[in-house]
Amino acid sequence: MSLLEIKDLVKRFGGLAAVNGVNLSISDSEIRGVIGPNGAGKTTLFNLISGALSVTSGTITFNGQVVSGKRPSHIALAGLVRTFQRNAMFPTYSVLENVVLARHSQVKNNVFQTIFGRNQEEEEHRERAKEIIHFMELSDHQDELAENLSHGHQRILGIANALAVEPKLIMLDEPVAGLNPTETKMVTDHFRRLRDEWKITVVLVEHDMRTVMETCEYISVINFGKLLMEGNPEEVANDKRVIEAYLGSDDYDL
């Protein structure tokens, strides 16, 4: 059974179909890449899945529950979360405070009481936040302000914040954009650990084809709002349709 099932998904902006009849099936504990030229509809697809945009037609089913039409907070609590191209964090708070704040949907108390309070429930959430920070190898930066982190560590903190709501599936929107090779490796090393150690399904939209080809086991290619083809990295890299789609854009380095 698929963890995420997308059927006949359409999103129209006036007369333009940014997503046009897409069907995707993503299994539990998979690392899936979603690629395509600029303007292909990848980020719109992510926005539809996460609830940031309303669906024109079609259905999105997650973990057996129809989530199309639901609020982003409802979808996140169901276990489907996303990161953004920009680092989603509280820059003037510490790494620990960031992850505790990100857990606000898991607690009943005021979020600032969660940071500064000391009751049992609050302490349990702080301890869980520390576990996430340790898993993401940020313990040495736990008390450092987020704005003072390197770009790579800021991107890892964004993933840690997403983990704070205990997801079953995490969608990463261009997770290595703007990072140097060392930072890219530091970030991508966590993807397989998320799947192997914490059993979290990973789906990423990324323009860095080397990252996609080396990280993802299966890749879905979107072009002009439609699913062009799917396959393993070797199949995708050698598919004439994919090569033509990329040669027709600025993103052609397969």
pLDDT per residue as tens digits for the range 206-239:
989 999 999 999 999 999 999 999 999 999 999 9
Q: Give the Cα separation of 157 and 113 in Å (integer).
A: 22
Q: Do both 75 and 172 map to the same domain?
A: yes
Q: Do both 25 and 3 map to the same domain?
A: yes
Q: Domain tally for the chain? A: 2
Residue 85 lies in a domain: no
H-only helix segments in the chain = 42-50, 72-77, 95-102, 111-116, 120-135, 151-163, 181-198, 209-215, 233-237, 240-247
* φ, ψ of residue 222 in degrees (nearest 5): -105, 140
pLDDT per residue as tens digits for the range 117-134:
556 777 888 999 999 999
Task: List the one residue out of 160, 155, 163, 205 whose CA is nearest residue 182.
Answer: 155
Helix axes 181-198 and 151-163, enclosed angle (nearest 10):
20
Residue 88 lies in a domain: no
Q: Do both 175 and 160 map to the same domain?
A: no
Band of pLDDT at residue 89, cut at 50, 70 and 90: confident
Q: Is the model's pLDDT at 164 over the cut of 70?
A: yes
Which pLDDT belongs to residue 103?
85
Task: List the one residue out of 200, 124, 137 whose CA is nearest residue 163.
Answer: 200
Band of pLDDT at residue 75, cut at 50, 70 and 90: very high
C-beta atoms surrounding 92 within 10 Å? 10
Residue 87 lies in a domain: no
Q: Give the Cα separation of 134 and 127 in Å (integer).
A: 10
Is there a contact between 28 and 201 (Cβ–Cβ < 8 Å)? yes
Task: List the one residue out of 162, 165, 160, 93 whose CA is nearest residue 125.
Answer: 165
Range of the domain at 1: 1-79+167-254
Which pLDDT belongs to residue 108?
47
DSSP string spanning 16-51?
Answer: EEEEEEEEEEEETT-EEEEE-STTSSHHHHHHHHHT
Q: Do both 183 and 72 map to the same domain?
A: yes
Which pLDDT belongs to residue 112?
55
